[in-house]
Each structure stands twice: as structure tokens, then as C-alpha cells.
Amino acid sequence: MALAELAREVARTGDPQAVDYVFGGAGTEDTMRANEEAFRRWRIVPRMLRDVGERDLSVSVLGTALPAPLALAPIGVQTIVHPDGELATARAAAAVGLPMTVSTMSAFPLEEVAAAAPGPKWFQLYWPTNRDLAASFISRAEAAGFQAIVVTLDTFLPGWKPRDLQRGWQPFLQGVGIANYFSDPVFRSLLDAPPEEDPQTAIGTFVGVFTNPRLTWEDLEFLRSRTELPIALKGILHPEDARLAREHGMDAVVVSNHGGRQVDGAIATLNALPAVVDAVGGELQVLLDSGVRSGADAVKALALGADAVLIGRPYVWGLAAGGETGVLAVLRGLLAELDLTIGLSGHAAPGQLGSGLLVRDGAA
């Protein structure tokens, strides 16, 4: 099933609350549309007779050897679309050797998700107000075998999401997606009673520590001091922020607008990518997410300088439609299309791609 058709089927048959949560964006959802439209404005100009009989898509990203420059973006509360949630996604990702970026807001503790994913894996950190809790999350991720930390920066305040507001539904307030908090020793030490005995008080405590709008660049020194794992900052759109990430000892940036879920009217990630690459390319690795819907989209991002691309909503559509099997089908399809598009464009490896592969629509 084509991804667009899969999305329509999930939207038609899924639980309306979950559908709005997964498909929804900030405000008028202009940023969501802009993300996808940005890919349509670039066209691939294939080259011929280039000997692409043998292709090698393998790369190293965040110190992790990958079979292709693809990874799974962090998405929380996956049990709202399928009861196996992150466990099914982890198994599918491991089956094809791609890293799953496990969200702080997973519906299962990170240790359980890691056990289900014997392959490469990264941990996404929402930096809480409590530093000891942040350090605990990082320590747990290291102990569970995660190979990198991806810090999401753009959610220090919740975005204005009319679909969720209209329904008055927030899974976290139902206790879904906060398993990492409920299982954390530092978080539990903040409570008078265990979450199992008093879940509502525990949820209230979570609300109080989840977001931290007072963070500054100077706080990264603490983060860097807590781990030797590679650290990527996710949510970078401005080239000056990319330079600041480099100056503060980070290893990578993820050009992302949270899939259009935070700032309505924000720049599309593909449009932001070239300036970020110019600012730090070669010194930091640059990844991209938001709006990637095909292997061809991934090729365009790679040609504009991304070292790898993160896939988000499409694998959740697969999860909703068929659990682990559905995720696996989506990932295998994307990998196959990426391989074919690279080959058909006249290249044998991601490192051969460059901006000369592309023209703006109407310019050829």
C-alpha cells in the first residue's frame, strides 16, 4: 500500500482522538503543509551510464554504523494507535538495522524498549526542570545500551494544537506515555506515594517537571558533563543556533520543526537545511526530519547536505495499520525506494549525492 493511501486508511479507521493527535499540527497546520511542499519544489535530475550495479548505502551517524542514512524519529505514546506501541516499532527497526529514537514519552520504560530492539538505538531526552531527573534518564539510557542522546529543544512550551484542544484530550494526563517517569528512581523520590498507589498525584508532579522554558545554551555544559555518548540537538532551524551547538560541544544537530506541531508558520525543514549545513557542515553532523514521506524525499535531503534523515509519522501509520508487521513494511518500502532512487539518479552511495543532483521546480 502506498504511504499516502496508508495515511488515508488510518485516518478513516483509527480512533478519532488518536488520529487527531498523530495527524494534527500547530495552529492552521501551515507548517505541516509547508514541510511536504518544500520537498515537491525540488526535482531530481538523473545522470546516465554511471555504473550503479553495486550500491552501498551504509553510513556512520552519531557514532552508529547504519545500513542506510535513515533512522526512526522519536514519537511518544505509541500505544494510542496500537497496544504493542514502541515495543512493536523497536522490533521492526531492529529487523532492518535502523536506529529507533526512543522518546522520553514512550508508553513503556526505556529499558523494555531497549530489550525489544537488539539493533542500534538512540534515546530522545525532553529536558525536565529537575537536573537530577535529566541525569537519571541519561544514566538509564547508557545502562540500557543506547548509543546516542537526542535532545529535543523545541517543546519547552506546548504548541497551540486546535485538534487536541477541541477534543480536550491529552494522553499524558491519562497516564499514557509517562512510563519513564513513573519508573525513574529520582522521579519516584519526589512523590509521597508510589505512582501505583496515587497515579493522579504522580501525573500532577510530572506536569510540574516536564517542560523547562528557562534552559539556555549554558545549560548544555551540564548535559555534556553527564555523558560521553554523542549528543544531537533536535529542533535547530537557524544557522546561528547550529553554530552555537558546535561551540557548546555538541556532536550533531537535527533540522526539525517537530513535524509542524509547535510553531505555526515556521520555516519548512528542507528550506532551513542548506543554511544549517553551510554553518556547520563538516564540523557537526546534520540530520533532518519533518515532512519526509518517501525515499525520494530522503534523497533530496541528502543531496542538500543532510547526513541522515529521520522518518516520523509514516512508521506510526504502519504501526496503526498492522503493528510490528506494518512498521516493517513501511521501513522496508522506504529503504527500497531510497536505494532505487539513488541508483536511478546515477549514484552508488549517499556520499556521492550533492546539490547538483537537484533543480528547483520549473528551473530545468
Q: How far is CA 321 from CA 1, 113, 195, 270, 288, in A?
A: 11, 20, 32, 28, 25
- Secondary structure (3-state) at 264: coil
d(CA 294, CA 287): 16
Is-contact 51 290, C-beta < 8 A? no
Nearest 10 degrees: Cα torsion 345, 348, 354, 356: -40
Displacement of CA 234 from its chain's centroid (Å): 8
Q: How far is CA 127 from CA 51, 137, 147, 203, in A?
A: 47, 9, 18, 17
C-alpha cell at 326: 506494518
- Residues 6 or more apart from 115 whose CB is under 8 A from it? 144
C-alpha cell at 204: 500532577
**Of 82, 238, 248, 258, which residue is the catalytic one?**
258
- Residues 6 or more apart from 87 whose CB is under 8 A from it? 108, 112, 113, 116
Q: How far is CA 95 from CA 52, 61, 89, in A?
A: 26, 19, 10
The closest alpha carbon to 168, from 52, 20, 307, 46, belongs to 20
Is-contact 94 117, C-beta < 8 A? yes
Is-contact 289 254, C-beta < 8 A? yes
DSSP category for residue 49: S
* Three-point CA angle 244, 219, 131, nearest 5°: 150
d(CA 211, CA 161): 17
Is-contact 229 142, C-beta < 8 A? yes
C-alpha cell at 227: 555523558
Catalytic residue check, 258 = yes
For the annotated catalytic residues, the residue numbers are 258
